[in-house]
C-alpha cells in the first residue's frame, strides 16, 4: 500500500488556481444582490486576495518557483481585479467618478500585460518592481473595501480614497514599465 503525502512543491500553484477558480463564484455572489451573499463574497474575496501573498511566499520559501507559477500569478491578479471592476460597474457599486480610477487600472493592466508579452518575444524579461507589488496590494484592499462598502456604514469615503490611491500607483507603475523598455522598443523601430 503506497502512502500518499501532500506535495508542498505544488501548493503555491494550487493557491493560484484556487484564486482563479474563485472569481466566478465571487462575481455570482456579488450579483445576487443580497447582503448575506455579499458577506460571503467578501470572505471568499479576502481568502483569494491572501493567496496572492502566500503563493509567492511559499514558492520562494520552499524553492519551488515555477515558470507556470510566474506566469499565472500576475494573470490571476489581473483576472480578479478586472472581473471585480466589471461587476462594480454593473451592480451600481461604482459611481460615475469611480469609473475614472477603474479605467486607469484596467488600461494599465492590459497595457503592461501586452508589453510583457511583446518583450518576452524579444527574450527580454520585465521584472516586477517592488512598487508594482505594493500597487497590487492597494488594488486588492481597495476592491475589498468596495465589496464591504454597502455592508459597513462609513466605508464610502474610505473606498473612494483607496480606489484613487490604487489608480495613482497603477499609473505610476505603468509609466515605470514603459520607461524601462523604451530603449528596447526604439531599437526595434
Q: Does residue 20 lie in a domain region?
A: yes
State pTM to two decimals. 0.86
Q: Does residue 3 lie in a domain region?
A: no
Q: Does residue 90 lie in a domain region?
A: yes
Domain that holds residue 44: 8-184
Domain tally, the chain: 1
Q: Does residue 189 lie in a domain region?
A: no
Kindly give the confidence (pLDDT) of every residue in the chain, 189 residues in length, as a single tens digit, with 9 standing for 90 and above. 445 555 666 888 889 999 999 999 999 999 999 999 999 999 999 999 999 888 888 888 888 787 777 788 888 999 999 999 999 999 999 999 999 999 999 999 999 888 888 887 777 777 778 898 899 999 999 999 999 999 999 899 999 999 999 999 999 999 998 888 887 777 766
Q: How far apart are the first and last CA of the chain?
A: 63
Q: Does residue 94 lie in a domain region?
A: yes
Rounded to 5 degrees, φ, ψ at 33 are 75, 20
Q: Does residue 130 lie in a domain region?
A: yes
Where residue 128 sits, what CATH number does that domain have?
1.20.120.1760
Q: Does residue 41 lie in a domain region?
A: yes
Amino acid at each position: 500500500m503506497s502512502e500518499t503525502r501532500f506535495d508542498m512543491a505544488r501548493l503555491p500553484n494550487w493557491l493560484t488556481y484556487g484564486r482563479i477558480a474563485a472569481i466566478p463564484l465571487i462575481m455570482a455572489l456579488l450579483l445576487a444582490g443580497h447582503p448575506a451573499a455579499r458577506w460571503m463574497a467578501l470572505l471568499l474575496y479576502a481568502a483569494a486576495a491572501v493567496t496572492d501573498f502566500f503563493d509567492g511566499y511559499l514558492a520562494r520559501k520552499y524553492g519551488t518557483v515555477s515558470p507556470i507559477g510566474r506566469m499565472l500569478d500576475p494573470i490571476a491578479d489581473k483576472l480578479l481585479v478586472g472581473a471585480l471592476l466589471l461587476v462594480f460597474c454593473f451592480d451600481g457599486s461604482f459611481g460615475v467618478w469611480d469609473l475614472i480610477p477603474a479605467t486607469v487600472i484596467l488600461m494599465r493592466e492590459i497595457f503592461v500585460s501586452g508589453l510583457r508579452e511583446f518583450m518576452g518575444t524579444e527574450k527580454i524579461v520585465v521584472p516586477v518592481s517592488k512598487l508594482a507589488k505594493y500597487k497590487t496590494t492597494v488594488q486588492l484592499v481597495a476592491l475589498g473595501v468596495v465589496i464591504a462598502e454597502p455592508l459597513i456604514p462609513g466605508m464610502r469615503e474610505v473606498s473612494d480614497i483607496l480606489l484613487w490611491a490604487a489608480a495613482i500607483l497603477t499609473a505610476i507603475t505603468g509609466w515605470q514599465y514603459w520607461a524601462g523598455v523604451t530603449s528596447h522598443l526604439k531599437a526595434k523601430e
